């Protein structure tokens, strides 16, 4: 058995792996960059080794530094988690060549499934159904355009390397193909170092179904049933569940058997996921489910599988990597209940899901759920990495029980002052289509406007804030009158105690009654020592301040000034000084947190004050360019 394990990762997955290792009596080693020096995974490990500067390319993605850290600490095994180097066959081989145990599949298996075109060809040989498309080596624009026409629009362009929704573009019409291909290739090159693509027929009613597989070095391969990851935004999973709703026994048997064949075709060992796309226009049917790709690692959403099977997949990984056979055979595995996972991110849905890095000053998680997190109160969400705060998993006797428990968790938990997608998750789980399991991967896109709308605090929210103020602040201070200086109702000795408190939220002023009446409104609320009152309704947390001096105002640039929404790198500039542009026209592309963000013209006008060029590193709120309204150019001020 492994004695000391180095986790070549960070955040919640590093913490999760450490928990199982500790339970198995295995010592743990963390690695960290400058940005993560005080991170939870570093504090949780038995030992920690600094491996470089904050950018992942100079720390977490440098295999030689990680292997050196293992040698330095006497670790005998390396677990890559997910992301970073987890599917890098060269790194896996380097670990083995260094005489260490690699907690993952053999390098040859990673290579076999690492490129989507080669993987699909191998799956065809193994009798696994695949989506119609083009897998050829001719990558010219002319050939790809011709193949797209032959497949029929809409088509999907996909990078042959990588995953996670990067390097993927849906193209609806021939006129859009060339531009989409260029963007896809650029993103794929930046993310994976490989700009080759394949083409697939776009499935019009798609559901994303994946099967957890596990193999050992003794020739055993089993499946642990399926997960449904159809609720996505721009190919990024938002909510995952297991088992897949609407999956009958015959279809489950067919898809899971195909997944096992796929794993055996590459002599697979360890944890892996076979991903399928299902044409759900007529429900889930075995003859309408097609292989997409294999993830040769542990998945972000693995906890839902653990919840319905009672299996600790990380423990299985460590045992298999140590040479043991699988702890259970296929006949010993079964489904118990239903589990749903939501990914809680530091991002602002109202602003196009832009990441919201910063210090997490307030964090309260409802205890009635499984929470996997790499963040504690007082920690910071770094702008260098994925902005995940936590994964929240609820398990129930059936799907509705799990769904309602997760909704309740979102109502009774809060994080701040960083913006989060908590209200967005609540809205997704509350959609009638989701509740009824009428799922497809386009559901969020169709409903996004309503899902991301920011609500003004309701009368009930204000009542709750006033009641919380009355119950906690007034009781604590003995009716000190200082917070009432902005608006006080007078009172007489024999009158009901009723006063008004001024509350501030994002630069707006609200008034709420702080009275001695009923303080039970059914909403989660809390009063903080700095005078902040937090109230949550429908997953949205309102952080009210009793002083305008500490209210959470949002800075804004002057009209027409295009500012950097986050720190990042300018990877493309599409305009020049003095150029005339139209509303919505792309001005430049900013790459941040491994994603591309297009910055567009707010109205018709002329470009002035272009301050950056491609390759420039910019800080948040930096003015990058200004668009002057066309009317002002025609009629300049005297």
133, 178, 261, 510 from 255: Cα distances, Å: 20, 35, 10, 55
Does the active-site annotation cover 111?
no
In 280-333, beta strands by DSSP E: 289-295
Structural contact between residues 552 and 509, judged by C-beta atoms closer than 8 angstroms: no
Helix (H, G, I), strand (E, B) or coil at 168: strand
Cis peptide before 3 (omega within 30 of 0): no
Structure tokens at 129: 């159904």
Evaluate whether 299 touches 393 at the Cβ level (below 8 Å): no
CB 499 within 8 A of CB 514: yes
DSSP 13: H
Catalytic residue among 185, 233, 252, 297: 297
Number of H helices, E strands in the chain: 18, 36
SS (H, E, C) 258-293: HHHHHHHHCCCCEEEEEEEEEECECECCHHHEEEEE
Burial of 481 (0-12, 13-18, 19+ CB in 10 A): exposed
Long-range contacts of 62-65 (CB under 8 A, 24+ apart): 63/88, 63/90, 63/91, 63/94, 63/95, 64/94, 65/31
Instruction: Give per-residue burial for 343-382: e unless 16+ CB within 10 Å, then b.
Output: bbbbbbbeeebbbbbbebbbbebbeebbbbbbbeeebbbb
Sign of CA dihedral 615, 613, 599, 539: positive
Measured CA to CA, the distance from residue 400 to residue 396 in angstroms comes to 8
Q: What single-letter DSSP state applies at residue 177?
A: H
Instruction: Quote the crossing angle between the two packed helices 422-430 and 443-451, to the nearest 10°.
Output: 120
Question: What does the block give as tokens for 330?
Answer: 């296929």
Please provide residue 475's backbone torsions phi and psi, each rounded to the nearest 5 degrees.
-65, -35
As given in the structure block, the two tokens for residue 251 are 């279809």
Residue 140: CB atoms within 10 A of its CB come to 8
Task: In whole angstroms, give the CA distance from residue 489 to residue 224.
Answer: 64
∠ CA(257), CA(260), CA(264), 5° rounding?
A: 140
Q: Cα-flanking dihedrals φ and ψ of residue 588, to 5°?
A: -165, 170
DSSP state of 239: E
Q: H helices of 326-478, where?
A: 399-411, 422-430, 432-435, 443-451, 459-468, 475-477
Count of other CB atoms within 10 angstroms of residue 35: 18
**Nearest alpha carbon to residue 377 among 342, 406, 428, 418:** 418
Task: Concatenate the DSSP letters of all residues of 110-129 into one string.
Answer: HHHHHSHHHHHHHHHHTT--
Supply the residues annotated as catalytic: 297
């Amino acid at each position: 058995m492994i004695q000391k394990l180095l986790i070549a990762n960070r955040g919640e997955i590093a913490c999760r792996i450490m928990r199982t290792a500790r339970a198995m009596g295995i010592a743990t080693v963390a690695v960290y960059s400058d940005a993560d020096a005080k991170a939870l995974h570093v504090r949780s490990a038995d030992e920690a080794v600094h491996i470089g500067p904050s950018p992942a390319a100079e720390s977490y993605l440098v295999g030689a530094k990680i292997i050196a850290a293992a040698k330095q600490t006497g670790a005998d095994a390396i677990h890559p988690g997910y992301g970073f180097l987890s599917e890098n066959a060269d790194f896996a081989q380097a670990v083995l060549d260094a005489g260490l145990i690699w907690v993952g599949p053999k390098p040859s298996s990673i290579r076999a499934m690492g490129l989507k075109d080669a993987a699909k060809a191998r799956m065809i040989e193994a009798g696994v159904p695949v989506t119609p498309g083009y897998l050829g080596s001719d990558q010219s624009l002319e050939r790809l355009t011709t193949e797209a026409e032959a497949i029929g629009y809409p088509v999907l362009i996909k990078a042959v390397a990588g995953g996670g929704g990067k390097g993927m573009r849906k193209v609806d019409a021939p006129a859009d193909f060339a531009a989409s291909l260029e963007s896809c290739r650029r993103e794929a090159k930046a993310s994976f170092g490989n700009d080759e693509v394949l083409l697939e027929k776009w499935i019009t009613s798609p559901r994303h179904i994946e099967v957890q597989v596990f193999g050992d070095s003794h020739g055993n391969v089993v499946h642990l049933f399926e997960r449904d990851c159809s609720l996505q935004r721009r190919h990024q999973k938002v909510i995952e569940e297991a088992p897949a709703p609407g999956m009958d026994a015959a279809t489950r048997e067919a898809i899971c058997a195909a997944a096992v064949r796929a794993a055996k075709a590459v002599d697979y060992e360890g944890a892996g996921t076979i991903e399928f796309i299902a044409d759900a226009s007529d429900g889930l049917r075995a003859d309408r489910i097609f292989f997409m790709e294999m993830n040769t690692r542990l998945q972000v959403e693995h906890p839902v599988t653990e919840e319905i099977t009672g299996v600790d997949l990380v423990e299985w990984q460590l045992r298999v990597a140590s040479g043991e056979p699988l702890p259970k055979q296929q006949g010993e595995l079964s489904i118990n209940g239903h589990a749903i996972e939501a990914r809680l991110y530091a991002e602002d849905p109202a602003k196009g899901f832009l990441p919201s890095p910063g210090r997490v000053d307030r964090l309260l998680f409802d205890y009635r759920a499984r929470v996997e997190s790499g963040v504690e109160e007082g920690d910071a969400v770094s702008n260098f990495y994925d902005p995940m705060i936590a994964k929240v998993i609820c398990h129930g006797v059936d799907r509705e029980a799990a769904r309602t428990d997760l909704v309740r968790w979102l109502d009774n938990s809060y994080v701040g002052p960083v913006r989060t997608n908590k209200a967005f998750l609540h809205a997704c789980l509350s959609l009638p289509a989701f509740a009824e399991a009428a799922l497809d991967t386009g559901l969020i896109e169709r409903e996004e406007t309503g899902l991301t709308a920011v609500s003004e605090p309701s009368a009930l929210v204000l009542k709750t804030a006033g009641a919380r103020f009355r119950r906690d602040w007034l009781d604590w201070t003995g009716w000190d009158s200082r917070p009432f200086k902005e608006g006080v109702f007078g009172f007489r000795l024999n009158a009901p105690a009723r006063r008004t408190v001024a509350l501030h939220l994002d630069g707006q002023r609200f008034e709420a009654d702080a009275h001695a009446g009923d303080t039970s409104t059914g909403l989660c609320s809390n009063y903080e020592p700095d005078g902040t009152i937090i109230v949550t309704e429908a997953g949205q947390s309102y952080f009210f301040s009793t002083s305008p001096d500490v209210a959470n105002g949002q800075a804004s640039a002057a009209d027409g000034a295009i500012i950097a929404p986050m720190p990042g790198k300018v990877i493309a500039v599409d305009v020049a000084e003095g150029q005339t542009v139209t509303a919505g026209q792309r001005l430049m592309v900013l790459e941040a947190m491994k994603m591309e963000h297009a910055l567009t013209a707010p109205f018709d006008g002329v470009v002035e004050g272009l301050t950056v060029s491609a390759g420039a590193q910019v800080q948040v709120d930096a003015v990058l360019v200004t668009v002057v309204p066309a009317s002002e150019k025609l009629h300049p001020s005297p």
